[in-house]
Each structure stands twice: as structure tokens, then as C-alpha cells.
Amino acid sequence: MNLYAVKSIYLFEMHRAWRTILQSVVSPVISTSLYFIVFGAAIGSRINTIDGVSYGAYIVPGLIMLTLLQQSIAAASFGIYFPKFIGTIYEVLSAPVSFLEIVLGYVGAAATKSIILGTIILITATFFVHVRIDHPFWMVLFFALTAISFSLFGFIIGIWADTFEKLQLIPLLIVTPLVFLGGSFYSIRMLPPFWQTVTLFNPVLYLISGFRWSFYEVSDVGVAVSLAMILVFLAICLGLVWWIFKTGYRLKS
Amino acid sequence: MDPVIAISGLSKTYEDGYEALKSVDLTIGKGEIFALLGPNGAGKTTLISILCGLVKPTGGSATVGGYDIVHDYRKTRSMIGLVPQELTTDQFETVFATTSFSRGLFGRPAKPDYIDQVLTDLSLIDRRDNKIMTLSGGMKRRVMIAKALAHEPTVLFLDEPSAGVDVELRKGMWDVVRRLRDSGVTIILTTHYIEEAEEMADRIGVISKGELMLAEEKHALMAKLGRKTLTIQLQEPLEALPDQLGKDGLELAEDGTALVYEYDTRSERTGIGALIADLNRADIRVKDLDTKQSSLEEIFVRLVREGQ
């Protein structure tokens, strides 16, 4: 394995994040703080507890997931799309590296960035509400699996996109609505039965539910189902990335 | 000379049916400078891109250093450095960082002293810690070369290295290329500038419409295909070409003050002796003589036209 290449890509991407530290870190922290103020203070004052957890604390896992999903996709998609856009991708494609090494470099960096951001959001949340983590191991596992899976998904979007508009299309029109409608800010049991059934088709529900369970031992669906869903999503993304490099889709003619 | 690149029946047909490369056979020796000439769309970049792994061939095979470019891609790509036609660099990185990145990408451990040496050789050391966006076009071109050399390749592809570069910088780059060749690096360059090939190459290949029309040692090519023109300045102008001088290839200049005779250097008899004798017989007095060898450019244009 060309570990020097993996390290080079990884450090290059991490350095790019450091160069844009304001955009990378401050912006999500401010956004999340606003969510706490708007949802926690305004709505939280009308909802005391959900499953015995204060509303402010209840939305913390959902907010972390929101950041994790958005930032994983954004970091990984931009990381691979930008070299394509400016033409520097030629260097990666002509280097003695396998698809696995390219993925490890780009996706590893994107996942690291989103995990760091998610951790910052978690720390920020403790300034607003009391947060407890009942199952730290499962929390870290869900955290890492989600960051890796959605970084892979972002990587796929970055390869598929041939315009900046397309780069934004899926995160804005599909992922963000799914996160908002997947129980980030509420329990699906608060919905009418019909909408509860509809929400079960939202894959993000399972991520948030499992992640929330690791915090407070409360969930909308079984934790095993949540874990299975994230593993299935990870497998699909890995399969797609393998196919992309095997066929050279949008990379090689 | 040991072959470092061996290409056999290499072809590329795109999905829309366009044949960019048609069964190319070519061998390039170790340590030589090989210039690939051809008009736009001839297949030069496609050929280089296949060898570097950027484009997938649809037929044939190629080896670099004895290794297959598809099955042993790690070995072949480790040996190759590529300077692409476009100036594609990350504008926000420094010269040193982007060059070091290239070295790591090609599987070599960090070696700052070597990177500094490459930057010194390319007169970039003063701009080592400057962002690429602050450099001139010529400097960016040299950064591209530095990146390609960062992993100490033994084969260097230069795709149109002088495109958009001023004359002084072009000559500076030729010096760099010669030094690299002297250090044992095999260099394959594509160019539109015939002067560049004529100045630097040991061997020249001409490609047109995806077909390699020839690959010859430069001087042999010029001698083989070169035509010479003999211009005879006359003491007194002629109104028309006299009948006794009706020789193939002989023309009277527009103002009638000179005779222009084109001949093939490959012929056993060039016809010059007979022409001089005819001039004497016709009592045409000669003021001066001048001969001119066809340039590589003229050879190239002729070959491409014949190919069409």
C-alpha cells in the first residue's frame, strides 16, 4: 500500500481545512448555537421533556448529526470536486495509487474534519444544556460510522457533480430535509400515525435514533436496526466508490 | 540503446466512435529526448495520457521500464513524471508544499533537501514559500516541472512545455531538459514548436490523425526527407525561362533576377552540374549562388499534408 500517498492526500486536505478555519469551524458553531437559541429556548419552553429528557438536551444528538452529515458531505464532495474543477486531479490519477488509497486520503480527511466539528458542537452544547452520554462506546461508533459513510457519500457526489450547482443539489434538496424530517428536533411518536409510518422510510431517522440512544437510552427505533441501517448505507457507498474507480466514471475516458 | 518505453498496437477509440489513436507502435530508448510532433487533435496528448494512466487504452499494450502500464501500474507510474499542457496547480498552496505533496503522492518519503535542489535547478528557490497564485505564468510552468520531478522519475513527459512561454524562458527550459537528459532521464515531449524539436530532440516522431507516421533520428530524418533549394542570382534579369533550361524543379523568380531550383538530396544525381552547364550554353551569367536546406517545419508540414 502507498501509505505516503494516503498521508499526502490526508494532510493536504487537512491543511486546506486549516486554511479556511473560519469557514470550516466558526460557521457551523454559530449555526448550531442559533439552533439552540431558537429551538431550545423558544420551542423548548413549551415542551418540557421528551421520554424524560429535557427538550434542549434531547435535540443535541440531532444537532450533532445535522452537522456531521452536512459537513461530511461538504468536505468530501468539495475535496474531490475542486481538483476536478481546476484540473489538478490529473496528478492523483497518474500517481501509483489504488482507489482504496485515494478514498482513504480524501474520505479519511473529510471524516476527521466532520468528527472534529461534531465534537466542537457537542462541547458547545454543554454550555447551553446538561448533556449525558450513557453509552460512550456506541456513541463513538455511531459518530465514526456516520462520518465515514457520509464522507463516502460526499465523495461520490463530488465525482458525479460536473458543476457547482450539482455539488449543492443533493445536500440542499435531499439530505437537509431528510435530517430535519428524521427526528432531529422531535420524537416521531409526537407525529400522527400516518406521518410516523412515512418517517420510517427516512434513512436518517435510524442514524439519529441510534445516536440519541447512545446518549439517553431513548430511541424511536431499535438500536440494532439503526446500526444495521448505517452499515447497509456504508456498504452501498463503498460499492459505488469501487464501481466508480473500476469504470473510471467521470474520472477517466 | 535499451528501450525504456515499448508501445505495441496501442489504440484508443472513444465511446462516440472517434479513433484518437490507431495501432501505434513505438520504442523509446533510455536517456533519449524524443519529440512527438503533430497538429492539434493528432493524438499526442492521448498517447501520453494512456502511458500515464489518465486514459484507458482500447487496444494494444505498452511497457515502461519493462513493466506493463495496466497490470504493473504502480511500478510504471512511479517511474514517470508528467508535466501537463495546462497550468493546473493549487493556487493557494506554496511552491514547496505543492512540490512536496507530489513527492508523497508518488510514494516517496519526504526529502526536503531534494525538493530544495529541484527548486534551485529551476530557479524557483527564491519563491519557495510563496503561494502559487503570486507567481508569473513562466514560474508556474516551472512549478509544474518541479512537481513532475519531485519523486525522481526516470521518464519525463512534457506535454507542450513551451505553450504560452516567452522565448527567453523557453530557452531556459531547454537547458533544464538537457541537464535532465544528461542525468539519465528519458524525456518525451510533444510540441507545436518545430524549433523546439529541432533544437532538443534526438529522435522525432510525427503523428497525424492518430497514426504514427514516422519515428526517426532527427539528423537522419532531415537528411532523408530534406530538400534543398538552389537560388541562382542572375547578372541580368530574364523575361522568361529559356527553353534550353526547361528542367523539372526550375523556376524563374517573379522579378526575373533569379532562378530557383529545388532538388532532392537523396537523388544520386541532383542535376546541379547539368543546370550550370545549361546556363553556360545559354550564355546566362551568374552573379551569386545560395543553397538552403528545408527546415524540420517544412518537412513536418509536407508529411502531414501527404498524410491527409
Q: What does the pLDDT read at residue B196?
A: 80
Chain B CB within 8 Å of residue A45 CB: no
| Structural domain includes residue A140 | yes
Q: What does the pLDDT read at residue B1?
A: 64
Q: Supply the DSSP symbol for B294.
A: P
Q: What does the pLDDT read at residue A49?
A: 82
| Structural domain includes residue A252 | no
For chain A, list residues with pLDDT below 50: none
Chain B CB within 8 Å of residue A48 CB: no
Residues B132 and B140 sit within 8 Å (Cβ to Cβ): yes
pLDDT tens by residue, B105-161: 999 999 999 999 999 988 889 999 999 999 988 888 889 999 999 999 999 999 888
Q: Which residues of A touch B101 (CB under 8 A)?
A: 8, 12
Q: Is B54 within 8 Å of A90 when comparing Cβ atoms?
A: yes
| Structural domain includes residue A240 | yes
Q: Is B109 within 8 Å of A93 when comparing Cβ atoms?
A: no
Which residues have C-beta within 8 Å of that of residue A55, sequence separation ≥ 6?
A39, A40, A43, A44, A47, A48, A49
Instruction: Map out the domains of chain B as residue ranges.
Output: 3-223, 227-293
Q: What does the pLDDT read at residue B66?
A: 92
Mean pLDDT for chain B? 86
Q: Write the ipTM.
A: 0.84
pLDDT tens by residue, A204-217: 899 899 999 999 99
Highest mean pLDDT among A17-31, A235-249, B51-65, B217-231: B51-65
Q: What does the pLDDT read at residue B164?
A: 67
What average pLDDT does this structure show over B221-226?
A: 70
Per the listing, cell 501520453 goes with B48
| Structural domain includes residue A253 | no
Q: Which residues of B touch A252 (CB under 8 A)?
A: 54-56
Chain A CB within 8 Å of residue B77 CB: yes
Asked if residue B244 has pLDDT above 80, the reply is no
CATH pick for B227-293 out of 3.40.50, 1.10.155, 3.30.70, 1.10.10: 3.30.70
DSSP string, chain A: --HHHHHHHHHHHHHHHHHTHIIIIIHHHHHHHHHIIIIIIIITTT--EETTEEHHHHTHHHHHHHHHHHHHHHHHHHHHHHHHHHSTHHHHHTSS--HHHHHHHHHHHHHHHHHHHHHHHHHHHHTTS----S-HHHHHHHHHHHHHHHHHHHHHHHHH-SSHHHHHHHIIIIIHHHHHTTTSSS-GGGS-HHHHHHHTT-HHHHHHHHHHHHHHS--SS-HHHHHHHHHHHHHHHHHHHHHHHHHTTTT--
Chain B CB within 8 Å of residue A246 CB: no
| Structural domain includes residue A41 | yes
**Count of domains in chain A?**
1
| Structural domain includes residue A138 | yes
Per the listing, cell 524557483 goes with B124
Residue B33 pLDDT class (50, 70, 90 cuts): very high
pLDDT tens by residue, B174-186: 888 888 888 889 9
Q: Which domain holds residue A41?
A: 3-247
Structural fold of domain B3-223: Rossmann fold (3.40.50)
Q: What does the pLDDT read at residue A189?
A: 84
| Structural domain includes residue A96 | yes
pLDDT tens by residue, B256-302: 899 888 887 767 677 888 888 888 888 888 899 998 877 666 777 77
Nearest to B55 among A7, A91, A252 (CB): A252
Q: Which residues of B touch A83 (CB under 8 A)?
A: 90
Rounded to the nearest angstrom, the minimum Cα separation between A16 and chain B is 9
Q: What does the pLDDT read at residue B263?
A: 81
